[in-house]
């Protein structure tokens, strides 16, 4: 359990109802990097939400960019790959940023309220203007005013419109969406957030690539509900590739070889997952063409599995040096 991630989720008021329960359950299983893989039944049992609601909530959170799902597979006793628990990645940096914004907002309101209360107390006139003697006369010659005390106008205590007006957030990119003239605008503040989330990626160049891809594939353009998932998925893949990463100091050759092997294994595992999904799709169809495609896909899958085993063995030898 990551106490850090759970505290971020608690402090974000955007999460309500089942969204908050599911996010808290994921944070309860996550490490400090936001990675976890609980089953749907586990999330439903711990959050008190039905499995159907859990699935729809996860889908909604993923579309909003609050989590990233990665399908995982394991080898069954028959030798075939079958689905395992999904792996979920919570965007820790984004959660921290939103939680910090809420904390700063609450502190600002507290200080502002305290200043207002202090100003009101200072402007009030004292209730007693003189002590009453035994003769019933005030010791002071000052006569108390019968007019009500004039308190400062509430208007004077409210910051001006210039102080509360939000600064202009310029639009830097416009990604085409499904529908006539529909676009998704990427502002400067959103660009900064994406750079924080994906430090190893040239986010500006990748946003240009996304725009080019959407224009070249108009039938595959995304909807307004799915565009954030598309952006995060694209940048997440580029982050894994290490594009735009700062040059690292030279390391021993053995370490470099291990890093290369690990990267090859990760890329191969992604290809295996994609090929296995294609194989399952072919097997569900009954046409002769689909059966031939399934056989070809199975051969390709076996070759990639064998190649992965070779890379893992080679990595094990390097680790043993």
Measured in degrees and rounded to the nearest 5, phi and psi for residue 202 equal -80, 85
Question: How far is CA 156 from each of CA 91, 116, 171, rounded to the nearest angstrom?
Answer: 42, 10, 35
Query: In the numeric block, which tokens belong to residue 172?
Result: 């830097």
Residue 25: how many other CB atoms lie within 10 Å: 23
Query: In the numeric block, which tokens belong to residue 314?
Result: 């080679």
Residue matched to tokens 């959050």: 47
Residue 163's pLDDT is 47
Range list of β-strands (E), the chain: 35-36, 68-70, 73-75, 81-83, 87-89, 171-176, 183-187
Per-residue pLDDT of the chain (321 residues), as tens digits, is 678 888 888 888 888 888 888 998 898 888 988 999 899 999 999 888 899 999 999 999 998 889 888 887 777 777 777 777 888 999 989 888 888 887 665 555 555 555 666 666 665 555 544 444 444 444 445 555 555 555 555 445 444 444 455 567 888 999 999 987 899 999 988 999 999 888 889 999 999 999 999 998 989 999 999 999 999 999 988 888 864 444 444 445 556 788 888 888 888 888 888 888 888 877 887 778 778 888 888 998 899 899 989 988 888 888 765
**Dmax of the chain from CA atoms?**
116
């Amino acid at each position: 359990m990551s106490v850090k991630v759970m505290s971020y989720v608690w402090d974000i008021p955007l999460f309500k109802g089942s969204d908050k329960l599911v996010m808290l359950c994921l944070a309860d299983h996550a490490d400090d990097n936001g990675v976890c893989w609980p089953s749907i039944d586990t999330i439903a049992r711990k959050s008190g939400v039905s499995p159907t609601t859990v699935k729809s909530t996860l889908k909604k959170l993923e579309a909003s960019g609050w989590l990233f799902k990665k399908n995982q597979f394991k080898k069954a006793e028959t030798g075939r790959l079958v689905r395992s628990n999904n792996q979920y990645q919570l965007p820790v940096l984004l959660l921290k940023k939103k939680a910090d914004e809420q904390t700063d907002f609450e502190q600002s309101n507290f200080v502002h309220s305290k200043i207002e209360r202090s100003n009101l107390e200072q402007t009030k006139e004292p209730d007693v203007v003189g002590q009453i003697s035994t003769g019933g006369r005030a010791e002071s010659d000052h006569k108390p005013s019968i007019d009500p005390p004039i308190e400062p106008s509430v208007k004077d205590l409210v910051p001006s419109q210039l102080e509360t007006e939000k600064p202009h957030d310029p639009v830097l990119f416009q990604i085409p969406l499904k529908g006539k003239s529909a676009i998704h605008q990427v502002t400067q503040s959103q660009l900064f957030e994406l750079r924080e989330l994906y430090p190893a990626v040239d986010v500006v160049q990748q946003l240009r690539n996304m725009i080019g891809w959407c224009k070249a594939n108009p039938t595959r353009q995304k909807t307004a509900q799915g565009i954030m998932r598309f952006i995060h998925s694209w940048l997440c893949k580029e982050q894994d590739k290490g594009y735009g990463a700062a040059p690292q100091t030279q390391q021993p050759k053995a370490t470099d070889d291990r890093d290369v092997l690990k990267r090859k294994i990760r890329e191969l595992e992604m290809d295996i997952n994609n090929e296995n999904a294609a194989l399952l799709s072919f097997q569900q169809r009954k046409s002769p063409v689909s059966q031939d495609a399934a056989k070809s896909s199975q051969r390709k899958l076996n070759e990639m599995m064998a190649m992965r085993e070779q890379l893992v063995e080679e990595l094990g030898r390097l680790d043993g040096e």
